[in-house]
Chains A and B, each alone.
Chain A
Amino acid sequence: MRVMKITKDLIQHIAKLARIRLDDSQVQKFTQQMGDIVGFIEKLNSVDTAGIPETNQVNGMENVLREDKVENFPRMEELIACSNNPIENNQIKIKKSI
């Protein structure tokens, strides 16, 4: 039984958060498909997880530290040249952000 209803408004809200624009037919399709997917993942509600810790990292590595020093990428100009935006003084020039 599906507990949660996925609406077109919710899909449009999520798309906006994710910086993706959807046309009407995509909103229609994704609303239905996300409804199916969310219905499927709600199966997890039937698992009793009271007091169970969360797993974020699985192979036991923790607090892997390194010295805090600056290292320049050896081929900086080539790396910046991967951008298709205008380059000025080894920096990528973009539109104003606010």
Chain B
Amino acid sequence: MIHTLTNLSVSAITIMAPLLLAATGGLFTELSGMLNIALEGLMLVGAFASIAGVFLTDSLLLGLLIGVASSMLLSIILASVTLYLKANVFITGLAANLFASGITVILSFHLFGNRGVITFDTLKELPDLFTRFAQQMPLIAGYHVLTYLSVVLLFAAWVLLYRTPFGMRLRGVGFHEQALASLGLSPHRYRFAACVLSGLYAGLGGAALSLHLGSFVPNITAGRGWIALVAVFLGQRRPIGILLASFIFAFAEAFSNYAQGAWSVPSEFLLAIPYAISLFAIIFYSVFETRKKRVEYRKG
């Protein structure tokens, strides 16, 4: 039992990395008052461009940089159209997702002559860290480098958002836009920054997905960007909450993977587990919140 739980947690932590990175990216936009449904597309572009980058430059680091840069480029387009051409962020987000699923397949066709799976035998693997301690401390040692980076970057996001003037102002835009404008600051500029940061994080998340797998499949993200958005809501827009929410989803997915091998339950039902858990979690959370508000209302 304990052994199974440990194994599940270990695979959950690996599954969590892309989700956590994308969710942290979503946190920036959410706190700045933008509904960023483009996380899915940003992840997808990051996943594709990093694999293509590794293939073309033969270097993991350069490939990763290319992946992140591409996803940031898309987020810059998204932010420019939304903020400076005054478009509805929901529609531009859908457009970015559509664009991402189109451009990844087109480029994969034209660069590799293949519309399906791109995989290379010679592709470098992400290095695992602290492998010497993986036996004794399986919960904290032996993961690939981007898993550690996801937690470090979550902490960095916390510092940036809660311990710097920039972060205070970014949150201020989401909290009360006019107040920030009345200080002579430009709300657009902070939303733009939030959007580009979400591109950076989501792109890394996509790269963590494809580089860990060592290949790119069309629609490799398969709804993870959306789940990341749910994690932001469920984590009450706080870094620690997002970490917990991401772990819960990742654990559900790890469990669903495990159960597919262990039990003879149709895989469709098991694949639905992460979505069902997200659904119940978001409903319970909202019920809890409305109850709390009603109590506060009566007291006040």
Is A bound to B? no
**Interface of A with B (CB < 8 Å)?**
none
